[in-house]
Chain A
């Protein structure tokens, strides 16, 4: 019986997202047929664009790297009962700070400058997120509101800085380049694309977050506060401390995502570096069911359909189809009760038959 229950739990976490992905591909195929396109061709191009060549796979993994981290950031927040919509702002602040430090690293050897960069990026994101955590604890301000507001503040700070005091010569909104010693080494290079060592940082973060959530005292406390703050307080767990702590760790992961872009891809802060990766993190955390390993797979899924979409466009099918796919996945995962009910009916039919 214990085994059966464990299986059910495992099923739930895996079956729902897998079901969602397959269904969404199927529905998108119907849409393509309706607009007179061949879904087999489109999906073939999508797969080819994501995995078909060495360059495609590298591009895919480079896209996945920051998404894994923002996904972990949002997912960890969810586990603590916090909806961190501010991963974007935290990512920007982390990237900005680490870029600044990176430009000062010329005299340092890589074995010092790389850890310094990583720590700076995490501290930047952590502090930015901790503001929202502190506001929640001290003033009762909801983190959804404060993190959205802090996103704007971060964007405007970054815009100001890279258009003024920290602008590279040339009039473009970008910072000077970071020192060579502060850059990630390239693992593989293929034409104009390269795979940086950042992917290892992201994968390490998956393991660290998994251990943190499942195996440590802090993970226990954070989850208890997230599930039931009253019971946590009754059990002697400090709600305030754990809320700020969870926000800070969530922000550190987002800051690290921004730092990955600086150290492995752009080597500087660019005006549009933030993109929508923070918001993608919400999608990814949802698909990954807030489970670190699930999040890694979900990030790779999203990066794959993004990376493949260009090839699909070339094959004559609008790349916007992938937005449909993504939308349906989120819808189905978010309404997993629907899926569960459906499965329940199926089981009932089988039993009755």
Chain B
């Protein structure tokens, strides 16, 4: 039987058999089987918390399985730590990069296995090896650039070269596209295709189904720690994959009715805002949002969206221009005053701005309204009321696990976002800035959050939506503004425009120029 097994597995680069991994209170991997053929791109998809990363961390030796077997190229091996994995020619690119920001590309890549002349670092030798690698796989990087000066997409390339430098034949990529722009994603895919054509095996963790369809050969779907499906990519479609992931049919597009647009609630006039280094990031921007509509701002990350949001919500100083909310000039109001006037904010960075992760959920639920008479009696917090309020929100927004004593840090990304959304909605705002609401979330959570935003709009709340996901902008917005280098390139509606047109505006073309060219 054993012999037969080995023969069976010889065509597979990786076989993981009946893997079990238990964390306190959770069965993260429940007898998971994974078969990855040599030279293919294999996707592992599933919602947040399905156990994908846990499974890969075991393959890379970051954590050890409670039981189960791993075969590499048909031979059973024990992987106790990343060194064992590297020896087995396995490499992993983590979701959060493991690079030293202040060192150069070369130094980062060879870190830990530097070529030397006696006691000295052989920088030229390292540079040569790296240039050869980049040429072979089409991974172009400037070897002497300092990591912190490089955009995220290039940093990721450095991570990939680092893995290849260590001789990896099997590459694990953990949600590599979560931090990339659409263009960078396309470039990454080119690289992956090149790697595949050179015989490398790639395991690709994601929850974006169009990426699965675009690049992979086969798919393993996981849900709640179990494998719920193994299919060839050509034999499946996004709808089927979504169903296997979530366990039910999912609306890939949100349904929404006509907007009942009311009076103007927010106006931004000729706004100028600087970024951290003092350079101008928002350059004379004007926009307005009415009650009952969703205005989407599309654009590639880093074109001033963050600064615009912070200026509107009071977290960043305005250099010039005005922010007018409900007819009042609030340009110099504190965040607190703006909140009290009825402005809500779902921030783009949940962990930095949205939550105090060291606080229990019930404290997080009152952040920003903690001095409201509802929760605070003069100087003293009304703990029973706060807990009752939190229990209600946890139930209404289906936060899992529904325990208000848990720390913010103990929730998954999707549930953290639910906590923030629940909090901001529960304060009954008239206007809401919603920034990157579904970044890094799984399909179920995205669907929920999209529905929630639409229902707010239908209740007459004005929504300013900032997103890097074009699909999200198109499916939610009533009007779309495209932002490029701190300015608005044009205003369109999702009905009358195309992704191509918006894409061109995102690249810096003005709408009037595009339209005149057409005409």
User: A212's closest neighbor in chain B, by CB?
Assistant: B379
Query: Could you tell me the distance in whole angstroms from the C-beta of B21 to the nearest C-beta in chain A?
Result: 13
A234 and B401 form a contact (CB under 8 A): no
- Tell me which residues across on chain A come within 8 A of B259, comparing CB atoms: none
Q: How many A-B residue pairs have CB under 8 A?
A: 78
A228 and B405 form a contact (CB under 8 A): no
B 266-309 to A, binary, CB cutoff 8 A, 1 in contact else 0? 00000000000000000000000000000000000000000000
B381 and A215 form a contact (CB under 8 A): yes
A231 and B367 form a contact (CB under 8 A): yes
| Of the residues B357, B367, B376, contact of A217 by C-beta under 8 Å | B376
Known: A217-B379, A230-B352, A231-B354. 18 other contacts (CB 8 A): A1-B401, A2-B403, A6-B405, A215-B383, A216-B379, A216-B381, A219-B381, A224-B359, A227-B356, A228-B358, A232-B356, A234-B313, A234-B353, A235-B367, A236-B336, A236-B340, A236-B368, A238-B336
- Tell me which residues across on chain B come within 8 A of A234, comparing CB atoms: 313, 315, 335, 345, 347, 353-354, 367-368
- Tell me which residues across on chain B come within 8 A of A231, comparing CB atoms: 352-356, 367
The answer for the CA separation of A6 and B360 in the assembled complex, in Å, is 12
The answer for the CA separation of A217 and B368 in the assembled complex, in Å, is 12
User: A8's closest neighbor in chain B, by CB?
Assistant: B24
B406 and A236 form a contact (CB under 8 A): no
B25 within 8 A of A: yes
B380 within 8 A of A: yes
The answer for the CA separation of A219 and B379 in the assembled complex, in Å, is 9
| Of the residues A5, A227, A228, A237, contact of B403 by C-beta under 8 Å | A5
A236 and B357 form a contact (CB under 8 A): no
A223 within 8 A of B: yes
A217 and B352 form a contact (CB under 8 A): no
- Tell me which residues across on chain A come within 8 A of B379, comparing CB atoms: 216-218
- Tell me which residues across on chain B come within 8 A of A12, comparing CB atoms: none
- Tell me which residues across on chain B come within 8 A of A233, comparing CB atoms: 315, 335, 353
- Tell me which residues across on chain B come within 8 A of A232, comparing CB atoms: 356
The answer for the CA separation of A223 and B340 in the assembled complex, in Å, is 22
User: B367's closest neighbor in chain A, by CB?
Assistant: A235
A143 within 8 A of B: no
B 399-430 to A, binary, CB cutoff 8 A, 1 in contact else 0? 00101011000000000000000000000000
B398 within 8 A of A: no
A217 and B403 form a contact (CB under 8 A): no
Q: Which residues in A have some Cβ–Cβ distance to B below 8 Å?
A: 1-2, 5-6, 215-221, 223-224, 227-228, 230-238
Q: Is the interface of A mostly helix, strand, loop or mixed?
A: helix
The answer for the CA separation of A236 and B357 in the assembled complex, in Å, is 17
| Of the residues B337, B355, B358, B370, contact of A220 by C-beta under 8 Å | B370
The answer for the CA separation of A6 and B407 in the assembled complex, in Å, is 11
Given that A224-B356, A231-B352, A234-B347 are known contacts, is A5 also in contact with B406, CB under 8 Å in the complex?
Answer: yes
B60 within 8 A of A: no
The answer for the CA separation of A231 and B355 in the assembled complex, in Å, is 6
User: B370's closest neighbor in chain A, by CB?
Assistant: A220
Interface residues of B in 455-494 (CB under 8 A from A): none
A1 and B353 form a contact (CB under 8 A): no
B358 and A227 form a contact (CB under 8 A): yes
Query: Could you tell me the distance in whole angstroms from the C-beta of B368 to the nearest C-beta in chain A?
Result: 4
- Tell me which residues across on chain B come within 8 A of A238, comparing CB atoms: 334, 336
User: B313's closest neighbor in chain A, by CB?
Assistant: A234
B 338-373 to A, binary, CB cutoff 8 A, 1 in contact else 0? 011000010100001111111100010001101100
B 303-340 to A, binary, CB cutoff 8 A, 1 in contact else 0? 00000000001010000000000000000001111011
Query: Could you tell me the distance in whole angstroms from the C-beta of B372 to the nearest C-beta in chain A?
Result: 10
The answer for the CA separation of A236 and B341 in the assembled complex, in Å, is 12
Given that A220-B363, A227-B358 are known contacts, is A236 also in contact with B339, CB under 8 Å in the complex?
Answer: yes
